[in-house]
């Protein structure tokens, strides 16, 4: 009984109203005097509460004298309450003022289940587009909600990392204290929903799953720009991988060491840097124009056939098996 009264109070009914509803449901139609006597409550309070419940539609007044009331059937009562609650929630969501002119907050959440629940909930709300940047383990885990989003007409773009790929283009930064932690840490992931809602986090490894959620426009812009750059690099590496490596080094190592490493010479991968003994290295190793022109017909053919850069990104139904990753996997 007490649990039933508790839930009725949660639905907005007062203590006396809840007790009246339960009493009438248990004993059948009755007047205020009878109910007040059974409840041991003031008759004036019971009469007033029964009249309120009638106005709300939670009780029905029977014809004849003296005045008697009967309760609704349980399914009728819950249907009435559900309709009112849904209508009120929809109105509040539409009409409640939204703050403007201030930066969107950054919400930090921890724990595998909490992160996944928040992510799945937001994927279910997506209306236009989802941009996904994950490892294969997370791609497999999220296959169902992403497929459901696609079935609703949401455009899903995804890129998938393999082992070591997430670190391959950051190894040139010298003295980065966080690098060793990242190697011990988990797999990074990011999501951008409808170009507004963002989640950036890490899962697996020695650290607890954690993520940051925000709708700050700068974060959305950064993540989308990163995704675009990775998409372009992936396509270039697929079309001209050997040429790019001979010109710029493995994983563009020569470029990184030129701008990031203080002496401008050290190879971030421990390989001998030909530039150290040959200042004309870049000039001599620059590919002939024809090397790039060879790839052009293929790209033009793709353009004519309507295949865009997105063709390098696998459909949602495939990420767990052999997804087209953003670059090459381990050993690239």
Tell me the domain boundaries of the chain. Answer: 2-94, 106-312
HSE-CB for 5 with a 13 A CA cutoff: 11
Q: Which of 106, 12, 89 is nearest to 53 (CA)?
A: 12
- φ/ψ of residue 242, rounded to 5: -65, -40
DSSP 157-218: EEEEE-TTHHHHTTTT-TT-THHHHHHHS-EEEEEEETTTEEEEEEESTTS--EEEEE--HH
- pLDDT tens-digit map of 111-135: 888 999 999 999 999 999 999 998 8
Distances from the Cα of 84 to the Cα of 16, 72, 91, 197, angstroms:
21, 16, 11, 30
Asked if the bond preceding 203 is cis, omega within 30° of 0, the reply is no
Radius of gyration of the chain (CA): 32
| Residue 41 contacts residue 34 (beta carbons within 8 Å) | no
Q: Strand 106-110's sheet: what is its strand order?
A: 106-110, 210-214, 197-203, 187-193, 129-135, 155-161
Q: Which of 116, 183, 117, 197 is nearest to 154 (CA)?
A: 197
Alpha-carbon distance of 267 to 251, in angstroms, equals 11
Sign, Cα dihedral of 272, 277, 283, 288: negative
- pLDDT tens-digit map of 12-60: 899 999 999 999 999 999 999 999 999 999 999 999 999 999 999 999 9
Q: What pLDDT is stored for residue 291 in this prediction?
A: 34
Residue with tokens 């969501």: 93
Model confidence band, residue 273 (pLDDT cutoffs 50, 70, 90): very low
Alpha-carbon distance of 300 to 312, in angstroms, equals 15
What's this model's pTM, rounded to 2 decimal places? 0.50
Exposed, middle or buried, 25 (CB in 10 Å: 0-12/13-18/19+)?
A: middle
Architecture per CATH, domain 106-312, reads as 2-Layer Sandwich (3.30)
The correct answer on CATH 1.10.10.10 for the domain covering 2-94 is yes
Q: Count of CB atoms within 10 A of residue 297's CB? A: 9
Alpha-carbon distance of 97 to 43, in angstroms, equals 43
Model confidence band, residue 176 (pLDDT cutoffs 50, 70, 90): low
Alpha-carbon distance of 136 to 327, in angstroms, equals 13
Alpha-carbon distance of 203 to 109, in angstroms, equals 12
Q: What pLDDT is stored for residue 174 in this prediction?
A: 58
Alpha-carbon distance of 44 to 36, in angstroms, equals 9
Question: Average of pLDDT values for 57-78?
Answer: 90
- pLDDT tens-digit map of 207-265: 788 999 999 999 999 999 988 888 888 888 888 888 888 888 877 777 777 776 554 44
Q: Which of 120, 129, 138 is nearest to 156 (CA)?
A: 129
| 3-class state of residue 2 by DSSP | helix
Q: What percent of the chain has pLDDT over 70?
A: 69
Residue scoring higher pLDDT (6 or 305): 6
Q: What pLDDT is stored for residue 102 in this prediction?
A: 56
């Amino acid at each position: 009984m007490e649990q039933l009264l508790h839930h009725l109070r949660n639905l907005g009914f007062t203590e006396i109203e809840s007790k009246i509803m339960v009493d009438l449901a248990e004993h059948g139609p009755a007047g205020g005097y009878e109910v007040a006597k059974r409840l041991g409550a003031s008759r004036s309070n019971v009469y007033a509460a029964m009249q309120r419940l009638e106005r709300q539609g939670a009780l029905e007044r029977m014809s004849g004298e003296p005045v008697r009331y009967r309760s609704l059937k349980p399914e009728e009562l819950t249907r009435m309450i559900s309709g009112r609650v849904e209508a009120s929630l929809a109105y509040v969501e539409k009409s409640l003022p939204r703050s403007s002119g201030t930066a969107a907050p950054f919400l930090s959440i921890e724990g595998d289940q909490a992160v996944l629940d928040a992510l799945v909930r937001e994927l279910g709300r997506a209306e236009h587009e989802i941009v996904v940047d994950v490892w294969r383990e997370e791609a497999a885990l999220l296959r169902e909600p992403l497929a459901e989003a696609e079935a609703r007409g949401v455009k899903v773009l995804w890129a998938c990392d393999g082992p070591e790929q997430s670190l391959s283009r950051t190894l040139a930064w010298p003295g980065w204290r966080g690098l060793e932690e990242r190697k011990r840490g988990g797999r990074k992931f990011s999501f951008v929903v409808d170009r507004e809602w963002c989640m950036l986090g890490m899962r697996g490894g020695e650290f607890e799953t954690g993520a940051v959620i925000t709708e700050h426009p700068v974060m959305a812009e950064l993540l989308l720009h990163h995704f675009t750059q990775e998409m372009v690099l992936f396509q270039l590496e697929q079309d001209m991988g050997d040429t790019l490596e001979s010109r710029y080094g493995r994983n563009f190592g020569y470029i990184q060491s030129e701008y990031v490493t203080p002496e401008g010479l050290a190879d971030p991968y421990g390989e001998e840097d030909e530039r150290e003994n040959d200042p004309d290295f870049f000039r001599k190793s620059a590919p002939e124009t024809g090397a790039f022109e060879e790839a052009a017909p293929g790209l033009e053919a793709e353009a004519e056939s309507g295949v865009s850069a997105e063709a390098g990104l696998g459909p949602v139904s495939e990420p767990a098996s052999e997804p087209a990753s953003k670059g090459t996997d381990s050993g690239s």
